[in-house]
Amino acid sequence: MIPDIGLGTYRLKGQEVIDSVTTALELGYRHIDTAQMYGNEADVGQAIAESGVARKDIFLTTKIWTDRFAHDDLIKSLEESLEKLGTDHVDLVLLHWPSPDNEVPVAESIGALVEAKKRGLTRNIGVSNFTIAQIDEALGVEGGDQIVTNQIEVHPFLANKALVKHCQQKGLRVTGYMPLAVGKVMEDDTLKEIADHHGVTPAQVALAWVAARDIVVIPSSTKRAHQQSNLEAMTLSLSDDEIERINALDRGERIANPSFAPAWDE
């Protein structure tokens, strides 16, 4: 359902994100990930509209920011996002973070997502940056059984093993953001050695490792060559020994950790 690889657009705005999405769609990407907080939905929508790729062939994700979680406001904010994106629906909408200090009960925001789905504003619903306890709470509320994914930070230096395993056991697909650890994978000796053995880049090794765990990857890139190599990483097979060596790189190094983040699982 969710394509195995998508294009992340965090920190990209204006012509930069338009060019990035345009190139990705030309190369064959069919999964684009954006968010209200990124401030680029209109640019992403413009790139999609001008791409020549049919809307029905694109899996488009956006995320609701935490200040719009109250039931009516969430739906209104999604309608605003659709207007910016130039479409009548997204394929997936996520709660971007758990509500800080549980200001809006998860039952209310999940209920709003379910209503948005019933109205045809989105095909699927999910969450992002939810911990094990928060996933269980979300799955337990009315409509929680419609959640399809938890989008979380995953890369070789933050394997997020317990949370990934828990989500998968609950039947959720995990989507991994920052799979290249904002470029840090390029500097790691183990990843370099494995990459040299396969005649690929450390970035491709990192993506192949995440994908081997049945996790959707959404790397961000503005360069055509990097976007192409990221796509090609989906066909790279790593040996059990190589996977174990990469597993050993986990050091709990969290990049996305704002002040309002939840109490993370170890």
Per-residue pLDDT tens for 127-161? Answer: 999 999 999 999 999 999 999 999 999 999 999 99
Report the alpha-carbon angle 176-213-56, nearest 5: 55
Q: What band does 245 get if pLDDT is binned at 50, 70 and 90?
A: very high
Confirm whether 218 is domain-assigned. Answer: no
Q: Where are the beta strands (DSSP E) in the chain?
A: 7-8, 31-33, 59-64, 92-95, 125-128, 147-153, 173-177, 215-217
Share of the chain above pLDDT 70, in %: 100
The residues, any chain, with a CB within 8 Å of residue 46's CB and separated by 6 or more, are: 18, 86
Confirm whether 211 is domain-assigned. Answer: no
Question: For position 266, what pLDDT does the model report?
Answer: 77
b/e code 189-199 from CB counts within 10 Å (16+ = b) = ebbeebbeeee
Average pLDDT on 45-62 reads 98
**Under a CB-based contact definition with an 8 Å cutoff, are residues 171 and 142 in contact?**
no
Confirm whether 22 is domain-assigned. Answer: yes
Confirm whether 38 is domain-assigned. Answer: yes
Question: For position 141, what pLDDT does the model report?
Answer: 98
Element (H, E) at 82: helix 71-85
Q: For position 141, which CATH number holds? A: 3.20.20.100
- As a whole number of angstroms, the distance between CA 10 and CA 17 comes to 9
Question: For position 255, what pLDDT does the model report?
Answer: 98
Q: Is the pLDDT of residue 83 over 90?
A: yes
Confirm whether 240 is domain-assigned. Answer: no
Q: Is the pLDDT of residue 77 over 80?
A: yes
**Under a CB-based contact definition with an 8 Å cutoff, are residues 65 and 36 in contact?**
yes
89 labelled as ligand-binding?
Answer: no
- As a whole number of angstroms, the distance between CA 69 and CA 32 comes to 23
Question: For position 42, what pLDDT does the model report?
Answer: 98
- Domain limits at 140? 7-180
Q: Which residues are catalytic?
A: 38
The residues, any chain, with a CB within 8 Å of residue 73's CB and separated by 6 or more, are: none
Confirm whether 188 is domain-assigned. Answer: no
Confirm whether 236 is domain-assigned. Answer: no
Confirm whether 13 is domain-assigned. Answer: yes
**pLDDT tens digits along 223-233:** 999 999 999 99
Question: For position 145, what pLDDT does the model report?
Answer: 98
Q: Is 55 exposed, middle or buried (0-12, 13-18, 19+ CB in 10 A)?
A: middle
Number of domains into which the chain is organized? 1
Structure tokens at 88: 């009548």
**Under a CB-based contact definition with an 8 Å cutoff, are residues 91 and 61 in contact?**
yes
